[in-house]
Amino acid sequence: MKYTDFVDLKYEPAETDLICAFYVEPEDISLKEATGGVAAESSIGTWTELTTTEPYMAKLAARVFAIVGNTANIAYPIELFEQGNMPNILSSLAGNVFGLKALKNLRLTDIKLPAELVKSFKGPKFGIQKIRSLLKVPERPLVGTIIKPKLGLKTKDHAKVAYEAWAGGCDIVKDDENLSSQRFNPFEERIVETLDGRDKAEEETGERKVYMANITGETEKMLKRAKCVLDHGGRYVMVDILTCGWSALQTLRDQDFKLVIHAHRAGHASFTKNPKHGIAMRVIAKVARVIGVDQLHVGTIVGKMSETKDEVLENIDALKMDMAGLKPVLPVASGGLHPQLIPALMEYFGKDFVIQAGGGIHGHTDGTFAGATAMRQAVEAIMQGKTLEAYAETHKELEVALKRWRE
């Protein structure tokens, strides 16, 4: 079969087909041949005709069934994939095709997995509603922070910053993506001391608080760290899903620990940032949801990250859209956030999301406690239908924050 044989614009995908959308820019061949090449090389074809192809294989060919502009929609028969094996699925769809010399650019922009494949994975254990029940926060956005500086604090000081954030009004405190078990802040020691601070803050505030400990590491080590969190009364773990890998993430989820899985997307921009090449964050979001994360960073629209409004809204949609009965995943906004940005964030995200601010809390003129209070006040203002400026007249922490980060 030639590349062009994999293009069939009259084909109507079956319900069991896996559907991908690819942006394709050929280098020195026609668009039809290029899109057919993607379908061929990611299913049963290759660059030349073969003598080993058997007639019964024809039904396994991927088919380009639509080409609009430079975007090709390709249908893959479900028989091409091993159920419950995400590395196999992604090695097929996003493997060697990205290295084809005949393609100048290739970007996987969307994916739709058939229900049979989706159901071969566990999916989210908690999802939005169970997270809200766990934290006893039924409606407003959750307010969280990242310990800053992201590296360097000794365990005692790390736990102190966490306590001040919780006491000031944060629901959530999390490690940053590159804090693991360095000598200055060993993992188990950090778990014990930080959760002690959580318990103290809960007793003082009467609110439920959670700590997202970064357990990222070699798979067996991750499982041991997750058990350590459980043993010390933790409720959450955080995983750098791209750097630890899909297999490690799935192994963690398959343990069915009574722990919310917070997914950090560290490294995603190496796949997602080029609008013409790589893999869209929307695809990563869907894959992570199918495997079973409960929360995922999706960008901010405002703040310091580069994603556009449309991209972030697509990411949010990927976490909440109907997917064979999977629980919806809680979007996380993180990156350059501060109280001044809360009205815009809530306009774009609604109420079901996590506001995850680092410098926008710890950079408050009066310290972490005041920074957490200011962020919580900003959320309260919008929930009450008030402007930040009006609310700040009777809430000094917010007033100071607005002056600190006035745009």
CATH number at residue 343: 3.20.20.110
The amino acid at residue 85 is N
Binding residue numbers for Mg(2+)? 174, 176-177
For the chain, report the end-to-end CA distance as a whole number of angstroms.
Answer: 59
Residue 129, C-beta contacts closer than 8 angstroms, at least 6 positions apart: 327
Instruction: Yes or no: say if 18 and 117 are a contact pair by the CB < 8 Å rule.
Output: yes
Domain boundary among 67, 90, 118: 118
* Cα 30 from Cα 102, distance rounded (Å): 10
In tens, the pLDDT along 175-215 reads 999 999 999 999 999 999 999 999 999 999 999 999 999 99
**Average pLDDT of the chain?**
95
The amino acid at residue 145 is T
Provide the CATH number for the domain around residue 78.
3.30.70.150
Both 32 and 87 in a single domain? yes
Assess whether 156 carries a catalytic annotation.
no
In tens, the pLDDT along 135-158 reads 999 999 999 999 999 899 999 999
Per-residue pLDDT band at 46 (split at 50, 70, 90): confident
Q: Provide the residue range defining the domain that includes 277.
A: 127-404
| Active-site hit among 148, 286, 327, 364 | 148
Instruction: State the greatest distance between any 2 C-alpha atoms of the chain, in Å, as a whole number.
Output: 80
* Cα 260 from Cα 295, distance rounded (Å): 8
Residue 80: both structure tokens together: 């091409």
Indicate whether 407 pLDDT > 90. Answer: no
Residue 1: predicted pLDDT: 79
Assess whether 264 carries a catalytic annotation.
yes
- Strands in 61-131 per DSSP E: 63-68, 71-76, 103-112
* Cα 395 from Cα 372, distance rounded (Å): 13
Instruction: Yes or no: say if 166 and 211 are a contact pair by the CB < 8 Å rule.
Output: no
Both 304 and 390 in a single domain? yes
The Cα-based distances of 122 to 206, 255, 283, 324 in angstroms read 34, 10, 18, 12
Per-residue pLDDT band at 329 (split at 50, 70, 90): very high
Average pLDDT of the segment spanning 74-101: 95
Among left, alpha and beta (phi > 0; psi -120 to 50; other), residue 206 is left
Number of domains in the chain: 2
The pTM score is 0.95
| Active-site hit among 158, 264, 364, 395 | 264
